[in-house]
Structure 1
Amino acid sequence: MQDDSSRNTIIFLVCAVLLFFVYQHFVLDPAAARRQAEVKARAAAEATAPVKPGAPGLAAVPVTRGQALAASPRVAIDTPALKGSIALRGARIDDLQLTQFRQTVAKDSPPVVLLRPEGAPYAWFAEFGWTGANVPGLPTADTVWTLAQGATLAPNQPLVLTTTNGAGLTFTRKIEVDDRFMFTVTDTVANASVAPVTLAPYGSIQRQGLPPSKDASAIVHEGAVGALGGDDPTLKLIKYKKWTKDGGIEPIASTRGWVGITDKYWLAAIIPTQGQAFKGQFRDTKVGDVSVFDANFVGDAHTIAPGQQVTQTTRFFGGAKVVPTLRAYEKKFEIPHFDSAVDWGHFWFLTRPMFQFLEFIYRYVGSFGVAILLLTVAVRAIFFPLAHKQYESMAKMRRVQPLVEELRKKFKEDPAKQQQELLALYQREKVNPLAGCLPILFQIPVFFALYKVLTVTIEMRHAPFMGWIQDLSARDPTTIWNLFGLIPWHPATAPMIGGLLDSSLHIGIMPLLYGLTTMMSMSMSPPAPDPTQQKIMQLMPIMFTFFMAPFAVGLLIYWTWSNIITVIQQYVLMRHYKVDTPIDRLFARFGGQKKAAE
């Protein structure tokens, strides 16, 4: 009975994992591939792509990104991490490129473009200002500000912009930037009129239209993100699909927090002065068939008496979600949940420590690939007591397998007696067939947590390991169909079946190594009693090879190395119990062939 229960449990676990792989392989991955193809097509056509007309501020005439940039006088941004410009028309931060991150692993690949000016395809920008009832001449998106100080925005080189409303109000905006991704915007309003005015500060991040690449993966959060709600805010996450469906959320009163719009690796976020009351909101305004996504805040109103002035400081983050950088900003400016802009997922209690371990090891070895190997050793060390019991039980099971087969034949016609004798045999030999299931159960959360780390952390993006592996977060770039690059031909160009060879049948070096080590590990286990089960188990390594091939190569490195450690552990224990192993038989076979040849 225990033997059958063990087999059924293993089959159940295998089927559960297979279902996950099938869903990932045949549903999520093809969808992501289609979206990636759309992204490439969009990138090729972006120079002439039109924007949707009709929205307030949206271009009524199609323009290119270059034309949109030229529509306003500009001041350059030049930092170690950023290139771009600030539009004097509207005083917006609307042109940013991340110079330390390339669009692909190619050395000549252009830098990632984060922000785009209004009028360009898929505009994405940040603006700041004041709002008030019955106050004429407040600065708008069409107001051209005067550059009063500075020539280029750089660390320790701020810009100062000014404008007036023609009725006694002078607006001054000081913009500073550090050497990473944080801007500090200080707005001052001076009232030289004869009457008091009441104004409230606001900040907004707006995204006009959604590029096809967004929401490409079910496990990655892309959309609205922030922390809102009183003095102890909670994390707010709204995927684009839900954001579009619901139209956003109502304003939430807060004294601490932030709002932003996030992609898989990139973030644009506005952080009001912490400790001051404000209301944060996410909105989706439909303009024709275009969604205009807006993450904004509005602060408490200030009454400015004649001869007085008021100042508001707002910070804007525009850059890559580098975890140490986010943590540093969270600590320095006391921004709640800022490093949660990285989507750690439901297994955050495993994902965060796992990333911290990889990051810690990386600082010493300089390679995330090596860090993954050491992580594998650490995980196996943690699970060593369970694994030891598993492999000990398997070794004993293999040792008593001939006795089990004898009992099955002897009591073939009496199943009840057969189970009774099998239980007695297991008790005498101190064998527990169920002991092999626990390590599998405990390693499944680790598997998903590592998958999450490799998928969402930018540190893994374009992280090289060795040889052909130049991006641990992507699939193995090699494929068996061109002999791993020896033939100058890409399978995707094959007529009729090119897409199939480049997606579902794309088998590289690491998937093959994974399949081989899986086969070795499974060959060390006791054979299933049923011939049908034996055939299924023999096919498992081949099936897993195809299912795992599209996964991040970093995950395959982890699993392959884990298989190797498993084989070593199994071999040592089986030798200890004097059990014949497939490795021994392999050595004996080749040794016998060598002697015969001599």
Structure 2
Amino acid sequence: MGENKNFILFAVLSLFILMSYQYLYAGPKLEAQRQYEQQQRALAEDTIAPRADAPSITQPSIVQNTPATVTYEDAGSIALETSELSGSISLRGARLDDLLLKNHRVSQDADSPSIRLLVPLEEQKSYFVRYGWFAKGKDASFTPNDATVWSSSGNTLTPETPVTLSWTNPENVIFNLDISVDEQFMFSVRQSVINNSGSPIEVAPYGAIDRQGEPKTDGLYILHEGPIGVFNGTLEEIDYGDLEDDGDFETLSSVGGWMGITDKFWMTTMIPDQNTALNRARMIRRVDNNGVTYRVEYAENWQVAPAGGQSTSTSQLYAGAKIVGAIDDYAEQYNINLFDRTIDWGWFWFLTKPIFAAIHYLFLLTGNFGVAILLMTVILKLFLFPLANKSYVSMSHMKKAQPKIKALQERHGDDKAKMQQEMMALYKNEGINPMAGCLPLIPQMFIFFALYKVLYVTIEMRHQPFVGWIKDLSVADPLTPLNAFGLIPWDPPSVIAIGILPIMMGVSMYLMQKLNPQQATMDPMQQKIMNMLPLIFTFVMAQFSAGLVLYWTWNNILSIGQQWLIMRREEARTST
């Protein structure tokens, strides 16, 4: 009776977890995704109205030379155009503040606009990057600031045509920003000060990323979104809520490293020269009349620009999609420590990264991510074959011994201790390992979580089709029998909208249970509860990405075939 109570409690808890998952995770996640797509569509179509009042911002940062109040009239801009990016750099303030990702769209709709990563200061939800200097012992007019109007050597920045922005202060000191961009997402910024003032000056170059408003995130602990950086070889992931609850993050010294703001699939990351010592780096949150603003900023150490001479500093800026191959190539090219962690591989990175590499390689061979997942599942099954083989052999022995087990249960049903003793002796004589059925599940669960991480955080599978109705493996299976597979114009609630793949997964899970001889030895109540598990998992998995459900379903089918063949082989061997 006590075991029945435990199983009933397990069933109740399982249903509670299911309902909590649907209402606390699946529903909010879908709503957040809809809001995100609406926001991106509005940004890309430039439908956001400018703020009614002229921007008046106070900049409590390492940059002490920005006036408290400035008015930002249009001073023109430099066009930006590459195979991946389009946008502009504002000549007022030298801000990279308008950036579209040409090859990444908000949704799969034919008219869906491109993702808009950076947004001008004059608009709501502004998001921009700026480089500059501050000078020791000088007032704010000595160095350029947000209100400064720069001159440019050209009208368009492309991989073939870098540009130089220049500004000269009243003391005849020239500040130059030499900006170039490659064919992907990496900008190079060379900051130079030409000192024609007649006396030496000390300057410190800085870089800053400002983002107004807190963007919509999935709100899950499995993925970091927000300020991120590596300082002195240590990865720092600071959530938006952390800055509100715990205050600013600050480090007073670091050599090299990098810092920026990351989203699920996009990021803006500043990368100082990896041999350069930083004087200060911060991640901060500020609230003013215009709302909340997040800033990531750094300043290099003081450097002397002698009279008649100059000082220079070079850094990189990654602004774009978080493509694994591009990030790895840049990490090697510029020797950027832990740059691969801009993608949140999770605690099991030693599994997630190889699994991604294998799936991506298979994708390049086949041209279909779904086929790559199927092939990867076969490879994993072969890798785990010795463990599964031992498990299924033990199950075969268990099936053969079922009459003896039934006899023991009838003989010692009221004496639990005696029955347990006799069962252990029987297992030993028959070569049965009662834990063998669980052994394959342990590595499979680690692989499942690692694969879930891969399919969730890597952009490579975003908007990738499989076959037929599955147009995007990174989202839930959209085809459900509740609306006659799309023939009825009705979108059922997510809690009951079970797709075809999750149904197939539930059926395969049920068939696997029927092949397990241990279920035949359970009492009726235990069997009923075990029979509920495929249904529970069907509802839970319905909201997971189709790619993950595809893996789990195909893995079940392979396991059924493998289990059937091994157990049939063992029956034939023991019968001769």
Compute the TM-score of the two structures, normalised by the length of structure 2: 0.89
Query: Which of these residues, 512, 532, 536, is aligned with residue 539 of structure 1?
Result: 532
Q: How does 1:442-481 map to 2 (within 5 A)?
A: 442-481=443-482
Q: Is the 8 A contact 1:510 1:557 kept in 2?
A: yes
1:29 aligns with 2:26: yes
Measure the CA separation in 2 of the matches of 1:19 and 1:451: 23
Q: Deviations 1:172-202 (Å, cap 9, x if unpaired)?
A: 2221110000111112211212222221100
Amino acid of the residue matched to residue 320 of structure 1? Answer: A
State the match for 2:241 in structure 1. 241
State the match for 1:507 in structure 2. 498
1:172 aligns with 2:172: no
Measure the CA separation in 2 of the matches of 1:176 and 1:300: 24
Three-state SS of the structure 1 residue aligned to 2:498 is coil
Q: Deviations 1:254-289 (Å, cap 9, x if unpaired)?
A: 121111110011110111122121132211122248
Q: Is the 8 A contact 1:286 1:292 kept in 2?
A: yes
Distance 1:196 1:173, change over 3 A: same
Cα deviation for residue 507 of structure 1 reads: 0.6
Distance 1:99 1:16, change over 3 A: farther
Measure the CA separation in 2 of the matches of 1:243 and 1:90: 27
Cα deviation for residue 142 of structure 1 reads: 1.0
Measure the CA separation in 1 of the matches of 2:81 and 2:557: 49
State the match for 2:555 in structure 1. 562
Measure the CA separation in 2 of the matches of 1:11 and 1:339: 46
Q: How does 1:284-323 map to 2 (within 5 A)?
A: 284-288=285-289, 290-323=291-324
Measure the CA separation in 2 of the matches of 1:530 and 1:265: 49
Structure 2, unaligned runs of 5 or more? 60-70
1:87 aligns with 2:70: no
Cα deviation for residue 44 of structure 1 reads: 6.9
Amino acid of the residue matched to residue 541 of structure 1? Answer: P
State the match for 1:373 in structure 2. 374
Measure the CA separation in 2 of the matches of 1:507 and 1:550: 8
1:143 aligns with 2:141: no
Structure 1 window deviating more from structure 2 (182-191 vs 35-44): it is 35-44
State the match for 1:162 in structure 2. 166
Amino acid of the residue matched to residue 513 of structure 1? Answer: M
Cα deviation for residue 344 of structure 1 reads: 0.7
Q: Is the 8 A contact 1:145 1:163 kept in 2?
A: yes
Q: How does 1:180-195 map to 2 (within 5 A)?
A: 180-195=184-199
Cα deviation for residue 218 of structure 1 reads: 2.5
Amino acid of the residue matched to residue 38 of structure 1? Answer: Q
Distance 1:184 1:490, change over 3 A: same
Three-state SS of the structure 1 residue aligned to 2:238 is strand
Measure the CA separation in 2 of the matches of 1:509 and 1:434: 33
Q: How does 1:218-237 map to 2 (within 5 A)?
A: 218-229=221-232, 233-237=233-237
Cα deviation for residue 327 of structure 1 reads: 0.7
Q: Deviations 1:277-323 (Å, cap 9, x if unpaired)?
A: 11322111222483211111101112222211122212111001101
Three-state SS of the structure 1 residue aligned to 2:224 is coil
Three-state SS of the structure 1 residue aligned to 2:252 is strand
State the match for 1:588 in structure 2. none
Three-state SS of the structure 2 residue aligned to 1:219 is coil
Distance 1:22 1:52, change over 3 A: farther
Q: Deviations 1:366-394 (Å, cap 9, x if unpaired)?
A: 22212211221122122212211211222
Measure the CA separation in 2 of the matches of 1:327 and 1:11: 50
Report how many residues are paired.
Answer: 552
Q: How does 1:5-154 map to 2 (within 5 A)?
A: 24-40=21-37, 42=39, 47-48=47-48, 56-57=56-57, 71-132=74-135, 133-135=137-139, 136-147=141-152, 149-154=153-158
Q: Deviations 1:498-523 (Å, cap 9, x if unpaired)?
A: xxx33111111111111111111111
Structure 1, unaligned runs of 5 or more? 60-67, 492-500, 580-598
Q: Is the 8 A contact 1:248 1:284 kept in 2?
A: yes
State the match for 1:525 in structure 2. 516
Q: Is the 8 A contact 2:18 2:539 kept in 1?
A: no
Q: How does 1:199-218 map to 2 (within 5 A)?
A: 199-211=203-215, 213-218=216-221
Three-state SS of the structure 2 residue aligned to 1:517 is helix
Amino acid of the residue matched to residue 523 of structure 1? Answer: K
Cα deviation for residue 48 of structure 1 reads: 4.2
1:257 aligns with 2:257: yes
State the match for 2:541 in structure 1. 548
Distance 1:467 1:83, change over 3 A: same
- Percent identity between the aligned chains? 39
Cα deviation for residue 440 of structure 1 reads: 1.2
